[in-house]
A and B are shown apart, each in its own frame.
Chain A
Amino acid sequence: MLNIFCPHCGEQRSEEEFHTAGQAHIPRPLDPSTCTDEEWGEYLFFRDNPRGLHHELWIHAAGCRQYFNVTRDTLSYEIFETYKIGEKPSVTAKAKSAPLTSRTAGAKA
């Protein structure tokens, strides 16, 4: 059972209160009518399926019923951070190595 921090409720809640809603940070094309079929198809149907760090949209379905973003590892299920919609993730693939090694080391110790 995972414990997930809800950024709206401000505390850890059990996984069963949440649902996942797929990949986060997918901007809708500003002018859909000028999109090519390929661009629109990419927006609608194609999603990343990374091995490792991933930004996802989750909803606190049984609690405050708000969507928020989760940065997590698809391999280890470790959740690095949760943040509100509209905020930028502080843990990204590029910045991952430096802060995370210390955090995982701390968790194991």
Chain B
Amino acid sequence: MSTVNVYKQRPDAAHAESPLFHAGLHELAGKGKSTAGVVLREKKLLGHLTLRGDGHDAAFAGAVHKITGLELPGALGLVVKGETSLQWLGPDEWLLIVPGGTEFAIEQKLREALVGQHYQAVNVSGGQTIVELSGPKVRELLMKSTSYDVHPRNFPVGKAVGTVFAKSQLVIRHTGEDTWELVVRRSFADYIWLWLQDASAEYGLAIEA
């Protein structure tokens, strides 16, 4: 094992609040129109780990594959298997998202598998959250929120880009035909939540718990 202290950021007994806790999404669930063009769901309290290392190094890529079961994706790539996903953030940086509660064990396993290598693994679960948008009007919502081209020709399923969004910055992930995910930092979460409500007003917004 390395000499790094690994902390369990969310002890089982503790009460955790997602970045959108204050919005009370569970109380809004089911109150929107059934014909809403945009359906919003917060995938809250998942385990987020950022991994850094040399992706061309077989030892690093192999260790990550052994623990996560996923190959390191190349530029702007996103690979998903069940509830685990691995996303390219930069030439030497990836975002690993795992089911909530497993991040502590997975981080420790990664550290064991990567021992002796030049790498970094950081648990950033508390710092960001995922907002999932689905529905027929999501692409139009994105089109007026970001300057990035979200047409399927340029932004196919399985692509993920960090870009400007509203007057802020976040990561957009295209996970299904009409399904998109936004990786939102905690400090921007309230702003993005207000922006999404305003921007989706003309299409109708429904909240899923």
Residues of A in contact with B (beta carbons under 8 Å apart) = 1, 8-11, 13-14, 16-17, 61-66
Q: Which of A8, A62, A66 contacts B169 (CB 8 A)?
A: A62
| Chain A contacts for B163, CB-based, 8 A | 13, 17, 62-63
> How many residues of B sit at the interface, in one of the four size bands?
10 to 19
Q: List 29 A-B contacts (CB under 8 A).
A: A8-B75, A8-B91, A9-B75, A9-B161, A10-B75, A10-B76, A11-B76, A13-B163, A14-B148, A14-B164, A16-B147, A16-B164, A17-B147, A17-B163, A17-B164, A61-B169, A62-B162, A62-B163, A62-B164, A63-B161, A63-B163, A64-B89, A64-B90, A64-B91, A64-B93, A64-B162, A65-B93, A66-B90, A66-B91
Top 3 A-B pairs ranked by shortest CB distance? Answer: A64-B90, A14-B147, A62-B169
A27 to B199, CA, bound (A): 48
Closest to B75 in A: A10
B76 near A9 with CB under 8 A, answer: yes
Closest to B162 in A: A63
A13 to B89, CA, bound (A): 15
Per the 8 Å Cβ criterion, residues 146-196 of B in contact with A are 147-148, 161-164, 169
Per the 8 Å Cβ criterion, residues 50-91 of B in contact with A are 75-76, 89-91
